[in-house]
């Protein structure tokens, strides 16, 4: 292998998680390559101003304070913050089948905001701009089609026949990770037989810089606040989890009927739904790799775990993977050691698996709790929500944990 195709670390996948990991690793002084199947022009293309619902990207992320801090440390948060984003200082969660309700308030927790909603393409553009300006070798517009895990250097093959190698491969190639499959790392996964309907809506009333979430037996409906370029706060990105048959029915409705059903589902809290963008439906699956590492391999982000979007934590868990991987590999770099040290990779896995599994279990618990319709359970969960809402310090502690500022 000539030196042009040999690196310390190759990151497969330059999405929101892989690009951040590559930036952090390059800053530590490792020689890093990123392979991303999308073309850089599409990732770096200028954003059109958002005036109407169709101008927003339907996929957004609710970034926790911990994720913002990581991006700030990588030098990209100021770019994200200079673009369209919406900080929210309230969160309202309630039970469709009762009177239980919990409200979270940034002022009560003495933080400037509970989180920030950012369109995914804004995040990717800011990260990719930093990657292009860094010493990282970005190989874009081509997929990884094979891997060989034999020997000291792990080798990957690209669709155009090129081969690259490195002692460590970081797989950030998303939920269907081919690298994870080639390495033979098994997953535990289950299908919810649900889909998440995603789109942008314009409402009659302002969202009040609040993230709204209503739980019903079939799943949660989230209204995540957005602002357009004129600063108007009547736009929300919605994620509506529904059983697959119901989702298909909703997707087939015309805009007027869909808007009416959506308005009904959110109990008219933001007034009339005035316009709705094109809709997308994603199958919902929870998936967890039984091992995040192999010899010379580490999985991060959705390649290691995908969770139900009900708490909007997918990207935040991925950024926690990045933070811990950087801490562990930074120590190796400082000690002049190779990046594939097995003890270090094992420590990365140990530190991340517990938190990811706990979050997945919590999501599953929530999902099951709200799926049950029996009267005693309904009564208990409503009473529990009301109790938690009144238990200030405990409520704020739980919220702080979810925000990564505990």
Ligand X SMILES: Cc1cc2nc3c(=O)[nH]c(=O)nc-3n(C[C@H](O)[C@H](O)[C@H](O)COP(=O)(O)OP(=O)(O)OC[C@H]3O[C@@H](n4cnc5c(N)ncnc54)[C@H](O)[C@@H]3O)c2cc1C
Would you tell me which residues interact with ligand X (CB under 6 A)? 12-18, 35-38, 60-62, 143-144, 172-174, 178, 196, 198, 239, 282, 301-302, 309, 312-316, 318
Q: Cβ of residue 15: shortest distance to ligand X, in angstroms?
A: 2
Do 113 and 397 form a contact (C-beta atoms < 8 A)?
no
Tokens 């270090």 correspond to 344
- 13 closest CA partner among 186, 154, 178: 178
196 vs 219 by CB, closer to ligand X = 196
Do 201 and 271 form a contact (C-beta atoms < 8 A)?
no
Q: Cβ of residue 236: shortest distance to ligand X, in angstroms?
A: 12
Residue 129 structure tokens:
């701009």
Q: Cβ of residue 14: shortest distance to ligand X, in angstroms?
A: 6
Q: What separation in angstroms does the CA of 75 have from each of 16, 65, 102, 283, 329?
A: 14, 15, 35, 34, 19
For residues 321 and 192, what is the distance between their CA atoms, to the nearest angstrom? 25
Residue 97 structure tokens:
């089948």
Do 97 and 371 form a contact (C-beta atoms < 8 A)?
no
The DSSP code sequence of 260-300 is: HHHHHHTTTTT--EEEE---EEEEEEEEEES-SEETTEEE-
Q: Cβ of residue 170: shortest distance to ligand X, in angstroms?
A: 11
14 vs 296 by CB, closer to ligand X = 14
296 vs 312 by CB, closer to ligand X = 312
242 vs 344 by CB, closer to ligand X = 242
Q: Cβ of residue 17: shortest distance to ligand X, in angstroms?
A: 3
- What backbone phi and psi angles, to 5 degrees, belong to 350? -60, -45
Give the SS3 label for residue 386. Answer: helix
Q: Cβ of residue 240: shortest distance to ligand X, in angstroms?
A: 9
37 vs 382 by CB, closer to ligand X = 37
Q: Cβ of residue 59: shortest distance to ligand X, in angstroms?
A: 6
Cα 259 to chain centroid distance, Å, stands at 26
Q: Report CA torsion sign: 202, 206, 212, 217.
A: negative
Tell me how crowded residue 81 is: count the other CB atoms within 10 A of its CB.
Answer: 15
Q: Cβ of residue 4: shortest distance to ligand X, in angstroms?
A: 19
What is the DSSP-derived secondary structure letter of residue 45? Answer: P
């Amino acid at each position: 292998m000539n030196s042009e195709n040999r690196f310390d670390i190759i990151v497969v996948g330059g999405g929101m998680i892989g690009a951040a990991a590559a930036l952090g690793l390059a800053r530590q002084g490792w020689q890093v390559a990123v392979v991303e199947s999308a073309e850089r022009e599409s990732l770096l293309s200028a954003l059109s101003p958002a005036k109407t619902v169709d101008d927003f990207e339907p996929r957004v992320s609710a970034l926790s304070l911990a994720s913002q801090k990581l991006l700030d440390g990588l030098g990209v948060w100021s770019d994200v913050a200079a673009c369209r984003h919406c900080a929210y200082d309230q969160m309202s969660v309630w039970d469709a089948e009762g009177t239980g309700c919990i409200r979270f308030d940034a002022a009560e927790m003495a933080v400037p905001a509970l989180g920030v909603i950012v369109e995914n393409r804004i995040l990717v553009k800011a990260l990719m701009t930093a990657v292009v300006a860094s010493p990282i070798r970005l190989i874009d517009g081509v997929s990884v089609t094979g891997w060989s895990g034999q020997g000291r250097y792990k080798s990957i093959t690209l669709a155009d026949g090129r081969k690259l190698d490195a002692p460590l491969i970081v797989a950030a190639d998303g939920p269907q990770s081919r690298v994870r499959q080639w390495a033979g790392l098994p997953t535990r996964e289950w299908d919810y037989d649900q889909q998440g309907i995603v789109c942008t809506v314009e409402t009659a009333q302002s969202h009040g810089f609040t993230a709204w979430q209503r739980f019903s037996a079939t799943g949660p409906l989230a209204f995540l606040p957005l602002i357009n370029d004129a600063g108007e706060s009547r736009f929300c990105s919605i994620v509506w989890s529904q059983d697959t048959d119901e989702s298909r029915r909703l997707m087939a409705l015309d805009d007027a009927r869909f808007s009416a059903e959506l308005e009904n589902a959110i109990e008219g809290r933001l007034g009339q739904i005035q316009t709705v963008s094109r809709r997308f439906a994603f199958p919902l699956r929870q998936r967890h790799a039984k091992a995040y590492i192999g010899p010379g391999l580490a999985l991060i982000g959705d390649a290691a775990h995908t969770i139900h979007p009900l708490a909007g934590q997918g990207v935040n868990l991925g950024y926690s993977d990045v933070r811990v991987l950087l801490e562990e590999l930074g120590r190796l770099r400082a000690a002049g050691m190779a990046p594939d040290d097995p003890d270090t990779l094992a420590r990365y896995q140990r530190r991340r698996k517990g938190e990811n599994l706990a979050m997945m279990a919590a999501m599953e618990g929530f999902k099951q709790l709200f799926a049950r319709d029996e009267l005693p359970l309904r009564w208990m969960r409503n009473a529990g929500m009301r109790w938690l809402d009144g238990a200030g310090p405990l409520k704020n502690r739980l919220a702080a944990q979810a925000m990564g500022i505990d």
